[in-house]
């Protein structure tokens, strides 16, 4: 491992590390278990581990209402190893515009990954059961995320978008999280809004009981 | 552009209308004609217009930010035309590498123009045209390079206001008071990897030389000797 402090291509390289593996950086960024989206389909719903428990493991005591979860959220060893998609900052701005405070974990040492591929990974948006009590700003935020992703990929050929929504539901005395994965063209991303709205309505009908079944 | 007098450069709309009227003629001068001097004069004229547009933005961006934003969108379109002209000039000088760089810039600006000039036909047609140029003029490039960089969020600032990106309300890619918002990366924490991608966000990142056999086809590279290079230059 080389650790040096010098200028390269006009950028101040702080602790430039060149290693053979991601483990050397402490960045287990490839170990994210993204559910396979079957061909011809764009939306898949699956289970997601408890965000609260995972945050406790990472040493983060505050559970946010709405957050952008880092790409290695399920595998990172500590908060400083968390890696955010580069769109996390944009989601924070969109959240502020929609009246929702979006946590990005930057204050806990999470860093950002910048890649040169037109495949747009919007990120994993976590919506707590508390935030769902006042769903209007959350829906507004999701609508602006859809518009943002569409405007960014409108002029790109073969451009695909990946967005994951992790929704927390009250189940009896506890809580359970479900992951809604969208992978497909940005033009069809708007399909995610009715799916989410339907799940919210069903949540109300069931008096807070988990409405979505795994693999539905 | 043959008729200088007909161009109204006092308003963004006037300039866009003039470009729309001259669209076909300008395109033929840029891409079809063999007369390099015509391409050079077209390039000079576009640069002159660009200087005017930049000066307009600078003059009005504090008093009339909305109009400055309109001018900035026009700048994207004119820059695409100018980079494309420079690309054809580079091709006429057998400088393929420089031509590719100009092509990348022309495509990038055309994308911005399409985004910021909705319902302006010439911008849409320019993007289609520049993509056809890529397909017809340049050899197919199947793989580009993508660097994966780890940065601390506080090292990324906003090009409009200079604060940490995400703290302000400026979204990268949008225009605010004549300034195109961008994320400025001031430092790196780590370089994670360089990978091959089919659809890069920057086509500048490409493979310049293959040492040994092509890893995809197994075809060994054609060896170019110094003497052959010298002969090619003379030609």
pLDDT, mean over chain B: 87
Q: Are residues B59 and B151 in the same domain?
A: no
CA distance A138 to chain B (A): 18
Could you report the per-residue pLDDT of A28-52, keeping only the tens digit for each? 444 345 566 666 667 788 888 888 8
Under the banding of pLDDT at 50, 70 and 90, the label for residue A210 is very low
Whole-number pLDDT of residue A201: 58
φ and ψ of A160, to 5 deg: -115, 155
Q: Are residues B227 and B150 in the same domain?
A: yes
- The owner of tokens 């409405």 is A211
Comparing A134 with B5, the larger pLDDT belongs to A134
Which residues of B are less than 8 Å from A116 in CB distance? 144-147, 197, 200-202, 205
CA distance A172 to chain B (A): 38
Secondary structure of chain B: what % helix, strand, coil (to 5)?
Answer: 55, 15, 35
For residue A191, pLDDT over 60 is answered with yes
Whole-number pLDDT of residue B159: 94
CA distance B100 to chain A (A): 18
Instruction: Flag whether residue A25 sits within 8 Å of chain B, measured between CB atoms.
Output: yes
Which residues of A are less than 8 Å from B147 in CB distance? 114-116
| Rounded CA separation A142/B91 (Å) | 46
Handedness of CA B95, B97, B98, B99 (dihedral sign): positive
Comparing A6 with A72, the larger pLDDT belongs to A72
Whole-number pLDDT of residue B117: 92
For residue B186, pLDDT over 80 is answered with yes
Lowest mean pLDDT among A39-43, A141-145, B21-25, B162-166: A39-43
Comparing B28 with B160, the larger pLDDT belongs to B160
Whole-number pLDDT of residue A3: 33
CA distance A119 to chain B (A): 8
Q: Are residues B58 and B117 in the same domain?
A: yes
Q: How much is the pTM?
A: 0.78
CA–CA distance from A34 to each of A74, A128, A153, B55, B122 (Å)?
Answer: 11, 20, 22, 50, 41
Q: Which of A31-45, A141-155, B60-74 has the highest mean pLDDT?
A: B60-74
Instruction: Flag whether residue A213 sits within 8 Å of chain B, measured between CB atoms.
Output: no
What radius of gyration do chain A's Cα atoms show? 18
Q: Are residues B29 and B123 in the same domain?
A: yes
For residue B109, pLDDT over 90 is answered with yes
Instruction: Flag whether residue A66 sits within 8 Å of chain B, measured between CB atoms.
Output: no
Chain A interface test: which of B199, B202, B206 (most A C-beta within 10 Å): B199
By C-alpha distance, which of B80, B78, B66 is closest to B179?
B66
Mean pLDDT across the stretch B53-60? 94
Comparing A123 with A100, the larger pLDDT belongs to A100
Lowest mean pLDDT among A71-75, A136-140, A199-203, B76-80: A199-203
Look up residue B207 and give its two tokens.
């493979």
CA distance A126 to chain B (A): 18
Under the banding of pLDDT at 50, 70 and 90, the label for residue B69 is very high
Under the banding of pLDDT at 50, 70 and 90, the label for residue A169 is confident
Q: List the single residue in B115, B154, B192 with the smallest CB-CB distance to A155.
A: B115
Beta strand extents in B86-226 (DSSP E only): 144-151, 156-158, 175-176, 179-180, 183-185, 187-188, 190-197
Q: List the single residue in B148, B168, B205 with the smallest CB-CB distance to A113.
A: B148
Question: Do B113 and B76 meet the contact criterion of CB atoms below 8 Å apart?
Answer: yes
CA distance B171 to chain A (A): 6
| Rounded CA separation A123/A70 (Å) | 8
Look up residue B81 and give its two tokens.
């035309």
Taking residue A74's Cβ as centre, other Cβ atoms within 10 Å add up to: 16
Mean pLDDT across the stretch B106-110? 94
Mean pLDDT across the stretch A118-136? 81
Q: List the single residue in B114, B188, B202 with the smallest CB-CB distance to A155.
A: B114
Under the banding of pLDDT at 50, 70 and 90, the label for residue A206 is very low
Q: List the single residue in A14, A22, A154 with the smallest CB-CB distance to B189.
A: A14
What residue of B is the nearest CA neighbor of A27? B192
Instruction: Flag whether residue A80 sits within 8 Å of chain B, measured between CB atoms.
Output: no
Whole-number pLDDT of residue A215: 37
Q: What are the domain boundaries of chain A?
A: 1-25, 32-205
Q: Are residues B106 and B68 in the same domain?
A: yes
Question: Do A167 and A45 meet the contact criterion of CB atoms below 8 Å apart?
Answer: no
Comparing A130 with A24, the larger pLDDT belongs to A130
CA distance B189 to chain A (A): 6
Could you report the per-residue pLDDT of A57-115, keeping only the tens digit for each? 999 888 889 999 998 888 888 888 899 988 899 999 999 999 999 999 988 999 998 88
Handedness of CA A163, A50, A203, A216 (dihedral sign): positive
Considering its fold, how many domains does chain B have in total? 2
Chain A interface test: which of B112, B116, B132, B188 (most A C-beta within 10 Å): B188
Comparing B206 with A201, the larger pLDDT belongs to B206
Mean pLDDT across the stretch B54-76? 93
pLDDT, mean over chain A: 73
Which residues of A are less than 8 Å from B199 in CB distance? 117-119, 156-159
By C-alpha distance, which of A149, A151, A144 is closest to A163?
A149
Instruction: Flag whether residue B165 sits within 8 Å of chain A, measured between CB atoms.
Output: yes
Q: Are residues B121 and B197 in the same domain?
A: no
- Owning domain of residue B149: 144-234
For residue A214, pLDDT over 50 is answered with no
| Rounded CA separation B52/B46 (Å) | 10
Mean pLDDT across the stretch B14-43? 86
> Is A111–B202 a contact, with Cβ atoms under 8 angstroms apart?
no
Question: Do A193 and B154 meet the contact criterion of CB atoms below 8 Å apart?
Answer: no
> Is A159–B199 a contact, with Cβ atoms under 8 angstroms apart?
yes
Q: Are residues B154 and B42 in the same domain?
A: no
B/e letters for A155-168, b = 16+ CB within 10 Å, e = fewer, are beeebbbbbbbbbb
Please give the torsion angle defined by the CA atoms of residues B153, B159, B161 and B166, in that order, rounded to the nearest 10 degrees.
-30
Look up residue A51 and give its two tokens.
């965000």
Q: List the single residue in B131, B144, B149 with the smallest CB-CB distance to A114.
A: B149
- The owner of tokens 């993508």 is B146
Q: Are strands A11-18 and B187-188 parallel, antiparallel or unpaired?
A: parallel
Q: Are residues B13 and B107 in the same domain?
A: yes
What residue of A is the nearest CA neighbor of B192? A22
Question: Do A79 and A108 meet the contact criterion of CB atoms below 8 Å apart?
Answer: yes
| Rounded CA separation B39/A75 (Å) | 57
Last residue of a domain, one of B89, B122, B137: B137
For residue B119, pLDDT over 80 is answered with yes
Whole-number pLDDT of residue A149: 82
Q: Are residues B89 and B106 in the same domain?
A: yes
Last residue of a domain, one of B137, B157, B172: B137
Last residue of a domain, one of B106, B137, B168: B137
């Amino acid at each position: 491992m080389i650790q040096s402090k010098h200028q390269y291509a006009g950028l101040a390289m702080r602790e430039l590390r060149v290693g053979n593996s991601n483990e050397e950086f402490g960045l287990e960024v490839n170990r994210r278990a993204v559910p396979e989206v079957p061909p011809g389909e764009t939306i898949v719903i699956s289970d997601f581990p408890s965000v609260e428990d995972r945050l406790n493991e990472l040493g983060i005591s505050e559970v946010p209402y709405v957050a952008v979860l880092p790409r290695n959220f399920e595998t990172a060893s500590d908060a400083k190893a968390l890696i955010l998609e580069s769109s996390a900052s944009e989601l924070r701005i969109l959240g502020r515009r929609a009246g929702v405070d979006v946590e990005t974990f930057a204050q806990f040492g999470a860093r950002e990954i910048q890649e040169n591929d037109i495949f747009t990974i919007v990120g994993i948006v976590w919506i707590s059961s508390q935030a769902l009590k006042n769903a209007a700003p959350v829906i507004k935020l999701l609508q602006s995320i859809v518009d943002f992703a569409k405007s960014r990929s409108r002029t790109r050929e073969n451009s695909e978008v990946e967005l994951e929504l992790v929704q927390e539901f009250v189940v009896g005395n506890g809580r359970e999280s479900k992951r809604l994965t969208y992978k497909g063209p940005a033009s069809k991303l708007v399909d995610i809004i009715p799916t989410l709205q339907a799940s919210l309505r069903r949540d109300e009908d069931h008096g807070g009981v988990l409405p979505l079944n795994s693999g539905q | 552009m043959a008729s200088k007098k007909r161009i109204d450069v006092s308003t963004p709309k006037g300039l866009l209308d003039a470009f729309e009227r001259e669209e076909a003629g300008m395109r033929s001068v840029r891409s079809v004609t063999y007369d390099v001097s015509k391409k050079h004069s077209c390039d000079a004229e576009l640069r002159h217009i660009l200087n005017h547009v930049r000066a307009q933005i600078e003059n009005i961006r504090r008093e009339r930010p909305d109009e400055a934003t309109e001018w900035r969108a026009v700048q994207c379109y004119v820059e695409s035309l100018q980079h494309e002209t420079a690309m054809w000039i580079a091709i006429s000088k057998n400088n393929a590498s420089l031509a590719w760089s100009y092509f990348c810039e022309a495509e990038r600006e055309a994308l911005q123009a399409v985004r910021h000039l909705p319902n302006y036909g010439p911008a849409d047609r320019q993007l289609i045209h520049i993509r056809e140029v890529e397909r017809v003029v340049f050899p197919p490039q199947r793989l580009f390079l993508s660097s994966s960089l780890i940065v601390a969020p506080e090292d990324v600032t906003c090009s409009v206001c200079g604060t940490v990106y995400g703290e302000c309300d400026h979204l990268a890619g949008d225009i605010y008071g004549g300034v195109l918002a961008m994320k400025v990366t001031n430092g790196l924490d780590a370089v994670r990897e360089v990978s091959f991608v089919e659809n890069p966000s920057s086509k500048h990142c490409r493979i310049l030389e293959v040492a040994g056999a092509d890893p995809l086809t197994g075809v060994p590279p054609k060896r170019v000797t110094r003497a052959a290079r010298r002969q090619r230059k003379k030609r």
